[in-house]
Amino acid sequence: MATLTVWKFESPTAADDAVTTLESLAKQELIQLHDAATVSWEPGKKKPKTRQLHNLAGAGAMGGMFWGMLFGLIFFVPLFGAAIGAATGALAGSMSDVGIDDDFIKSARDKITPGTSALFVMSSQAVPEKVKAAFADRGVHAELIQSNLSAEQEAELRDLLAQ
């Protein structure tokens, strides 16, 4: 079973800095990484910068299309207004079918704001408490937003992205 976790940080550069910690945890086999991406939102900017971490993405990577759709729903649809929002209704419905529901999207949208950053991780066999402790050991405060995906939901998500 894959898990989509979102770690929010209180500075626009902390998510990029946390990637090193994530790589270390993977080497210690405390987490199995499938894919990851960062969001960095500088104060005063209208939208955040996003980056997929290709060096972490293995054979099971969801790919840029997944991150693009997810980040579009979270960060960019509110900027485009009702016309584009209506067109994304079907996409949002499809994402909720795979465990990424409106509550998850709203929570991420509300918490990841200018001056913050986030690390989005698709993983399995992770112990969130150990991940959070590893961030804390490096002097970084991280807030966890989490959405679990069942094996069936993960397969549906892959099918959705293949269309």
Tell me how far CA of residue 98 lies from CA of 91, 93, 123, 129, 130, in angstroms: 11, 9, 15, 25, 26
Give the mean pLDDT of the chain: 76
Q: What percent of the chain is modeled with pLDDT above 90?
A: 20
pTM beyond cutoff 0.75: yes
For residue range 88-109, list pLDDT tens digits in order.
454 445 555 555 677 888 888 8
Residue 92: Cβ within 10 Å count: 18
For residue range 116-134, list pLDDT tens digits in order.
999 998 888 877 778 888 9
Q: What percent of the chain is modeled with pLDDT above 70?
A: 66
